[in-house]
Amino acid sequence: MRSLLRPTRQHGIRRLLGGAALVLAAAAASGCGLPTDQEAQAIDPEDLPESLRPGFTASTTTTVPAPLTESRIVYLLTNPQDIERTIVVDVERQVDRNATLGDVLATLFGEATSAEESDAGYFNTLELFEILSATVIDGVATVDIVHLSPEGEDQPPSADELRFAAAQLVFTASETESVEGVRILLDGEEISVPTSDADAEPGSVLRTSAYEQFQPDFAPATTTTAPGDEEGGEEGGEDG
């Protein structure tokens, strides 16, 4: 009896294991998304996601970094042949985009004009000076400068040097929106600064109108003499 039962039990075990293997295979095929009939089916391209359609090209976005510097207007001087006076001329300087007024003004000090600027007839009086500080309070820029000798020692500037330097400072500082006027100090001291017409009082706030003769389009006022005025003056002189 034992010899007859053993093959029967082994045969049942094999059938049980074989059935379990088929169930696992079917489950694996189902999990992989394959059709149970094992036949491939064509999918209409319109039913595919856009990224899987024929001819799809992935687009890329390039981020351009913000510039580290920017151009700011500063003023040099020139003596054009067709104008019998010294005038200001605007040029550009590259500075940090977060530059303060002091940073912008500093580009004019201790620096000669470029070869192109010199060839154009421009010159820079501020290269004879050194900037000590520049602050802006309530729309007024206070700029402290010192005049240097060729040997680098402090010395008083001439009237023309101070007037030309002041014109450059006032026009350059006025390019900053927050600046409405400029007060110039010489080595920390309030001084009388020459303007187009006269010397300003020490500590005065200077504006571009004080240096209108430095503007290229400045036109001096003309006076007319009424007929007979000149003759009357001569007669009055004779009577005296």
Question: Residue 141, SS3?
Answer: strand
> Given this model, what pLDDT does residue 5 score?
43
pTM above 0.85, yes or no: no
Residues 92 and 18 in one domain: no
Residues in the chain: 240
> 106 in a domain, yes or no?
yes
> 114 in a domain, yes or no?
yes
> 6 in a domain, yes or no?
yes
**Residues 12-24, mean pLDDT to the nearest whole number:** 47
> 45 in a domain, yes or no?
no
Residues 159 and 84 in one domain: yes
> pLDDT digit string (tens) for 94-110?
999 999 999 999 999 98
Residues 13 and 104 in one domain: no
Q: How far apart are CA 154 and CA 157, in angstroms?
A: 9
Residues 94 and 203 in one domain: yes
> pLDDT digit string (tens) for 52-95?
777 667 666 666 676 799 999 999 999 998 888 999 999 999 99
Q: How many domains, the chain?
A: 2
Supply the mean pLDDT for the chain: 80
> 73 in a domain, yes or no?
yes
Residues 96 and 180 in one domain: yes
Residues 82 and 180 in one domain: yes
Residues 97 and 158 in one domain: yes
Q: How far apart are CA 142 and CA 102, in angstroms?
A: 10
Residues 87 and 195 in one domain: yes
3-state secondary structure 68-129: CEEEEEEEEEECCCCCCCCEEEEEEEEEECCCCHHHHHHCCCCCCCCHHHHHCCEECHHHHE
Q: Higher model confidence: residue 151 or residue 140?
A: 140
Residues 18 and 82 in one domain: no
pLDDT beyond 70 at 7: no
Strand ranges (E), the chain: 69-78, 87-96, 122-123, 129-137, 140-147, 181-186, 189-190
Range(s) of the domain holding residue 1: 1-33
Q: How far apart are CA 99 and CA 67, in angstroms?
A: 13
> pLDDT digit string (tens) for 215-236?
999 987 776 655 555 544 444 4
